[in-house]
Structure 1
């Protein structure tokens, strides 16, 4: 049996994969640390691009990073599975059985992984707030599987609209970045698809964006919210604020005021909560939204051998927004200080967040960026070119960080080259 320190990282999102990659490069390759990354999927995608995969304006085949090959090249192991339980006394996690979806045959039985230190980076998902009918009648965009399922259904619905000459109604709940960007991206997909002259007349697509609050993009300055609203309305997207959803059925959304918004596609992109499994993790403290409560240094309050980063963690004294920027910085913090904690028992210092602002891009139509001081850029005479380029640059930075400079630049070049070979919107 190996006497190496066993570090298990659960979740291969932005924080989990960045942390596994950095520690694998520094300690895993040198044989100083036994690192295992656990995820319920086989590949990583940059979550801020899920709306593009859903609309078909980006192909995730080009943008995914396969865990198995990435692990082999960066000094850690990958284990496919979904966490189902935790035994803190014996330092062991339980992985749920792998079951065939169609006939429910068990492909792989329940398994166990032992650890000396455990890091949760399992992200978040949309929060239905207990609204009746949401789980049964809405589409979510919390991972690449859901984005791909949406895209397949979207293409089939468009085919019906082309063939029958009937409109396609889509309603999106949630006026945050995901909902706003998805609304614009769907319009972009239809606009690109119409260039191929599939039929003499492009079908009508009616998109409605529902936001319970007084304005969309509430985390951005008011001028950005107003600019985004005007841009969406210019694309003939209906934006309804103060629209509280009280229920959902097979035909559409029921609003609190008693009115309805009927739609073939009902997308729920509101709220944030941690995966339900956090509630059954052997007594670890959870916040209201299910996030694991951690100390300022990202150690859980009940167990110093367990950390949590990204959207699934919550610092009571100073909560941070559930963004990719926070997740990335928390991963870098642990990558820097965990080696001394593991090898020399030095305490991990408190995490400090450096807010660099935020960017939202509305397809190829417009974009805005907000610096930490509230000042904005983009959305002006260049129609938001600077902000849209900034959004793309963040993704390229993520690629280069994981691949390394040489492979990262090659990936950028091949993506650009692919644009000359494939259509700009997914057609099959």
Structure 2
């Protein structure tokens, strides 16, 4: 599998939970090897933010500058190469990916289109919300699927809060999607308003309404029913209007048109419903994909039509043996698949066989900011199906993030980042004010 120059090339497209963990861990492991394979990470963004934290960046209850990891710095520290750019095509015969040209905001060409060769290609380009073709969503709604989108939404809501403050005008916010993203964002927005009120605007909360819209019969459909019910009660207790069994027919500049023809007024609209892979993956040089643009993979995480190409995380579709549905698009799945590839890719490069990927359902967690948290222990371990809430669930949610930091930065640096975060929480404002 070596190239003509002798060095084996691993290219990873996507610096999210899975892609960055693979690049960082293998980069450190092979850093001092004379015959080390080259590892290149390609991402259109310049920095990484843990995706389950994007709702806090969007709300401004966490500072993006404190929670992001610049790819160039991470590449230097972990021993891989970072290439800025967006995947726009694939040439499987030549074993090259096509990277789109990059332009400055004013239109200047920064980087021309280019090609990058690989021996093994790992696609980890994540997912985005699925608007299901609903009219007006793309034009009138915000998404928070990426670091840039979360930051854009945060800039908008800070301007809207300033308007509400200066003009004593109402602000109505509607979030479509009662999954973890929508639920957690709604709670963080309440926390944002409460914190902002403490800066001399005691009646700000009375001018702001937050509505969460879910098409299904309950929020958090992937969680046990007791967590779903308790979460809805807690959301309503902190002032959020929760609508279940409510389908959106269209989005307009003034709000949403519901399936029964009624109007839901909203001056600020967020779409957090559904999940699909990037459009690019539909027919990417003949690779097999699902209707939701996810690449179909074998239990080895190799794509069905090219063993040199792997896919993991949200952009991959894997139906485990004996299961009826693919694995869910969660950070837990992406992490476990990343750990599998960290073990497997060195063996593959040596031509040795590897076992199939096996997923362990360790449960799920949802955090309602400082108000509450809920968790379930899943189908693996001694306490199968047990649910819990409160401080234990909040601590568990925190530990997921800290574990991710330790995996990409190493234990000691990850611990120092945790300490810095704790100090900042004591010294800085609880919300973004700049």
TM-score range, shorter chain: over 0.9
Kindly state the Cα deviation for residue 2 of structure 1 after the two structures are TM-superposed. Answer: 3.6
Cα deviation, 1:288-341, whole Å, max 9, x if unaligned, reads 110001001100000000000000001245511100000000000011011011
Contact 1:28/1:35 (8 A) holds in 2: no
Aligned counterpart, 1:418: 424
Aligned length: 421
Aligned counterpart, 1:361: 367
Secondary structure in 2 matching 1:48: helix
Alignment of 1:175-324 (within 5 A): 175-198=178-201, 203-317=206-320, 318=323, 319-324=326-331
Aligned counterpart, 1:327: 334
Aligned counterpart, 1:89: 93
Alignment of 1:333-372 (within 5 A): 333-343=340-350, 345-372=351-378
Aligned counterpart, 1:136: 139
Segment of structure 1 superposing worse, 326-335 or 309-318: 309-318
Residue 48 of structure 1, aligned match among 49, 52, 57: 52
2:193 maps to 1:157: no
Contact 2:164/2:204 (8 A) holds in 1: no
Looking at structure 1, the residues matched to 257 and 38 of structure 2 have their Cα atoms a distance apart, in angstroms, of 52
Looking at structure 1, the residues matched to 68 and 50 of structure 2 have their Cα atoms a distance apart, in angstroms, of 8
Looking at structure 2, the residues matched to 259 and 29 of structure 1 have their Cα atoms a distance apart, in angstroms, of 64
Cα deviation, 1:359-383, whole Å, max 9, x if unaligned, reads 00101111100111322011xxxxx
C-alpha RMSD of matched pairs (Å) = 1.3
Please, which runs of 5 or more residues in structure 1 have no aligned partner?
A: 379-383
Aligned counterpart, 1:381: none
Aligned counterpart, 1:7: 10
Looking at structure 2, the residues matched to 322 and 409 of structure 1 have their Cα atoms a distance apart, in angstroms, of 28
Looking at structure 2, the residues matched to 138 and 291 of structure 1 have their Cα atoms a distance apart, in angstroms, of 23
Segment of structure 1 superposing worse, 76-85 or 280-289: 280-289
Cα deviation, 1:131-173, whole Å, max 9, x if unaligned, reads 1111111100000111111111101100111111122100000
Cα deviation, 1:208-266, whole Å, max 9, x if unaligned, reads 10000000000111111111111111112110001111111111111111111111111
Looking at structure 1, the residues matched to 69 and 242 of structure 2 have their Cα atoms a distance apart, in angstroms, of 35
How does the TM-score come out when normalised to structure 1? 0.96
Kindly state the Cα deviation for residue 22 of structure 1 after the two structures are TM-superposed. Answer: 1.3
Contact 2:283/2:289 (8 A) holds in 1: no
Gap change, CA 1:263 and 1:279, over 3 Å in 2: same
Looking at structure 2, the residues matched to 29 and 147 of structure 1 have their Cα atoms a distance apart, in angstroms, of 38
Secondary structure in 1 matching 2:42: strand
2:69 maps to 1:65: yes
Segment of structure 1 superposing worse, 189-198 or 179-188: 189-198
Secondary structure in 2 matching 1:51: helix
Looking at structure 1, the residues matched to 131 and 108 of structure 2 have their Cα atoms a distance apart, in angstroms, of 30
Kindly state the Cα deviation for residue 349 of structure 1 after the two structures are TM-superposed. Answer: 2.0
How does the TM-score come out when normalised to structure 2? 0.95
Looking at structure 2, the residues matched to 189 and 325 of structure 1 have their Cα atoms a distance apart, in angstroms, of 27
2:44 maps to 1:33: no
Moved over 2 A (4+): 198-203
Contact 1:38/1:80 (8 A) holds in 2: yes
Contact 1:87/1:93 (8 A) holds in 2: yes
2:87 maps to 1:76: no
Kindly state the Cα deviation for residue 277 of structure 1 after the two structures are TM-superposed. Answer: 1.1
2:119 maps to 1:116: yes
Secondary structure in 1 matching 2:303: coil
Residue 21 of structure 1, aligned match among 21, 24, 33: 24
2:401 maps to 1:395: yes
Contact 1:28/1:34 (8 A) holds in 2: no
Secondary structure in 2 matching 1:387: helix
Contact 2:134/2:250 (8 A) holds in 1: yes
Looking at structure 2, the residues matched to 75 and 266 of structure 1 have their Cα atoms a distance apart, in angstroms, of 41
Contact 1:37/1:76 (8 A) holds in 2: yes
Contact 2:319/2:327 (8 A) holds in 1: no
Gap change, CA 1:52 and 1:150, over 3 Å in 2: same
Aligned counterpart, 1:427: 433
